[in-house]
Amino acid sequence: MLLKVLLIVLVVAQLWLLTGFLPQRWQEEHVWSLRRLWPSHSYDYSRITHPNLDAELRPFEPWGIALLVMLVVVNGGAIVILWRRRRASAG
């Protein structure tokens, strides 16, 4: 039972991580559609937090992509290991 729950949690986490590879516009639409399903109070009164935030964060973009790839690979490996263990314990 614990393996099944852990497997479900890891698969949901993997799907969430994979959305990081979508174009930015799609990611924003995804967030807004989730906010319509689960509305919450927002303290953000402006979409602009800094006049040049994109340019300041651009040097860190390769590190973010590398971290995302590493998390997807590690989580995918954990899913494969749990899947094989689930099949071995069932058989």
Mean pLDDT of the chain: 85
Does the pLDDT of residue 77 top 90, yes or no? yes
At 42, the pLDDT band (50, 70, 90 cuts) reads low
The answer to whether residue 49 is domain-embedded is no
The residue-averaged pLDDT of 19-25 equals: 87
The answer to whether residue 2 is domain-embedded is yes
The answer to whether residue 44 is domain-embedded is no
pLDDT of residue 45: 62
Compute φ and ψ for 42, nearest 5 degrees: -110, 135
Write out the residue range of the structural domain in which residue 85 sits. Answer: 1-27+61-91
Q: Report the number of distinct structural domains present in the chain.
A: 1
pLDDT of residue 20: 87
Burial pattern 17-49, b for ≥16 Cβ within 10 A else e, equals beeeeeeeeeeeeeeeeeeeeeeeeeeeeeeee
The answer to whether residue 53 is domain-embedded is no
Does the pLDDT of residue 47 top 70, yes or no? no
